[in-house]
C-alpha cells in the first residue's frame, strides 16, 4: 500500500479535487493524472469497471502519485475486499442508509482488529515480493491509508446521518445529488427547495463532525459554491469540462 496523498491532504484540513471516471481505459486515466487531479474515482456502480480494470487503473495512479478510488456497485463485503486487493487506495460506497450499513462497509475495508477484511498476498501486498515483507506492517499500512467514502443519497440516510458520523473510521460523507434529487421527487433539479434543504441538512450535520464533506460538482461554478459551503472532497466530471471546451473550439474554427 502506497501513501495516500489525498487522505493525507484531507487529514491536514485541505481540499482535494478529483474526477469521476467511467471509462476503464488506462490511457485516459493517465492523462487525467498528469493534469493535476488529487484523486480519480473509478466507477463500478454505473460504469463497466470491475476488479481487473481497477487493478490496471491502480497501477496508473501509483505511477503518477494520484490517489485511486473505486466506487463499488454495492455494499457487499466480498466486493469491497476484492476491489481493495487490486491495490486501489479508497472505496466509495453507494446507497448507505443506516449506521449498521456504514459499519458493515467499514468492517469490509479494514483488517482486524478494526474490521473483517480477509488477508492474502494480493497485489495490494505487492504479492509479498518486496522484502522484507511482513503481514503486520501491511495490515497497519492498509488500515491507515485506505480512504473510506460513504454516500448519502436518500432521506432515510439523512435521518441516520447523526449516528453514521459517529463511526470513527469514516473519512468522507459524500452527497449523491442525483439519486437524492430522484428520491425527493425532483430528478436532476438540484436547485429545487426540497433538494437544497436536504443539502443544508447534510452540511449542517457533517460540519459538526471530523468528517470531510464530499459532493459531485460538474462545473466550475458549482465547485466554487460547494467549496464555500464547506465541501473538501469535490468530484467533478471531466467530460462536463471537456465538452464545452471542444464545442467552443469547433465553433470558433468553423466560423473563422
Tens-digit pLDDT string for the chain (256 aa): 788 999 999 999 999 999 999 999 999 999 999 999 999 999 999 999 999 999 999 999 999 999 999 999 999 999 999 999 999 999 999 999 999 999 999 999 999 999 999 998 888 888 888 767 788 888 999 999 999 999 999 999 999 999 999 999 999 999 999 999 999 999 999 999 999 999 999 999 999 999 999 999 999 999 999 999 999 999 999 999 999 999 999 999 999 8
CA 38, 135, 74, 96 dihedral sign is: negative
Task: State the Cα–Cα distance between residues 254 and 77, nearest whole angstrom.
Answer: 53
**pTM for this prediction:** 0.93
- Can you state the percent helix, strand and coil of the chain, rounding each to 5? 50, 15, 35
Phi-psi region of 86 (alpha: psi -120 to 50; beta: other; left: phi over 0): alpha
Q: Which residues are catalytic?
A: 46
Residue with cell 474526477: 19
Q: On the CB side of 18, how many CA atoms lie within 13 Å of its CA? A: 31
Torsion on CA atoms 98, 103, 105, 106, rounded to nearest 10: 150
Task: State the Cα–Cα distance between residues 183 and 160, nearest whole angstrom.
Answer: 16
Q: Using alpha carbons only, how large is the chain's radius of gyration in Å? A: 18
> 212-216 and 231-237: which strand pairing?
parallel
Which among 154, 191, 169 is positioned nearest to 116, based on CA atoms? 169
Structural domains of the chain sorted by starting position, each given as residue range(s) with its CATH number in brackets: 5-255 (3.20.20.60)
Task: State the Cα–Cα distance between residues 232 and 15, nearest whole angstrom.
Answer: 4
Amino acid at each position: 500500500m502506497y501513501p495516500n496523498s489525498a487522505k493525507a491532504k484531507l487529514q491536514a484540513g485541505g481540499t482535494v479535487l478529483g474526477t469521476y471516471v467511467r471509462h476503464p481505459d488506462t490511457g485516459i486515466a493517465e492523462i487525467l493524472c498528469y493534469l493535476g487531479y488529487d484523486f480519480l474515482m473509478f466507477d463500478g456502480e454505473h460504469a463497466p469497471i470491475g476488479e481487473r480494470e481497477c487493478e490496471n487503473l491502480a497501477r496508473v495512479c501509483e505511477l503518477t502519485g494520484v490517489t485511486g478510488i473505486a466506487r463499488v456497485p454495492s455494499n457487499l463485503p466480498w466486493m469491497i475486499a476484492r476491489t481493495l486487493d487490486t491495490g486501489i487506495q479508497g472505496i466509495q460506497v453507494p446507497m448507505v442508509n443506516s449506521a449498521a450499513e456504514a459499519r458493515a462497509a467499514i468492517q469490509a475495508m479494514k483488517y482486524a482488529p478494526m474490521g473483517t477484511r480477509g488477508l492474502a498476498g494480493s497485489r495490494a501486498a505487492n504479492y509479498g515480493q518486496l522484502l522484507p515483507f511482513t503481514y503486520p506492517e501491511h495490515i497497519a499500512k492498509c488500515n491507515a491509508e485506505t480512504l473510506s467514502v460513504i454516500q448519502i443519497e436518500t432521506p432515510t440516510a439523512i435521518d441516520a446521518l447523526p449516528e453514521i458520523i459517529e463511526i470513527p473510521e469514516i473519512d468522507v460523507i459524500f452527497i449523491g445529488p442525483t439519486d437524492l434529487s430522484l428520491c425527493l421527487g425532483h430528478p436532476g433539479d438540484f436547485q429545487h427547495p426540497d433538494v437544497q434543504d436536504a443539502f443544508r441538512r447534510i452540511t449542517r450535520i457533517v460540519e459538526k463532525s471530523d468528517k470531510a464533506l464530499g459532493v459531485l460538482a460538474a462545473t466550475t461554478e458549482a465547485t466554487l459554491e460547494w467549496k464555500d459551503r464547506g465541501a473538501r472532497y469535490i468530484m467533478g466530471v471531466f467530460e462536463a469540462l471537456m465538452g464545452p471546451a471542444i464545442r467552443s473550439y469547433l465553433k470558433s474554427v468553423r466560423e473563422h
